[in-house]
Amino acid sequence: SVVPAEVPVDADRKNYQQTFIDNVRYAADRFAEHNINVMIEALNPKIKPNYLFSSQYQTLELVNLINRPNVFTQLDLFHVQIVDGNLSHLITASQGVMAIQIHP
């Protein structure tokens, strides 16, 4: 999982997002050489305030912007239900770009 940092409240979030996209593209290209996938996870703001991505829909958009075949959104149902709700709609919208990880 690729986890971005918290962003200062007064920061330019678009700049942070573009840097994240560029870095993930670079990492994904290197990882692809070894058949390794990259997962991006959103965390709900109750646990991580000011986290760069708090919504699963944001990570879906990022996966499309990053546009690498080995980059997926990590579907963590705990965070998704708190932030986005409507799990069935989100799962349908995530088909093809979602990776599921089972925590031990």
- Is residue 62 situated within a structural domain? yes
Expressed as residue numbers, the domain containing 32 is: 13-99
Domain count, the chain: 1
- Is residue 94 situated within a structural domain? yes
d(CA 64, CA 41): 14
- Is residue 1 situated within a structural domain? no
SS3 23: helix
Is residue 29 over pLDDT 90? yes
Structure tokens at 33: 């050489």
SS3 18: helix
8 A C-beta contact, residue 44 and residue 82 = yes
Is residue 35 over pLDDT 80? yes
- Is residue 2 situated within a structural domain? no
- Is residue 34 situated within a structural domain? yes
- Is residue 70 situated within a structural domain? yes
- Is residue 3 situated within a structural domain? no
Edge to edge, the sheet with strand 98-99 lists 38-40, 71-74, 98-99
8 A C-beta contact, residue 56 and residue 42 = yes
- Is residue 7 situated within a structural domain? no
- The model's pLDDT over 41-83, given as tens digits with 9 standing for 90+, comes to 888 888 888 888 888 888 899 999 999 999 998 877 777 777 7
8 A C-beta contact, residue 59 and residue 34 = no
- More confident site: 101 or 18: 18
- The model's pLDDT over 80-103, given as tens digits with 9 standing for 90+, comes to 777 777 777 877 877 777 766 656
Phi-psi region of 64 (alpha: psi -120 to 50; beta: other; left: phi over 0): alpha
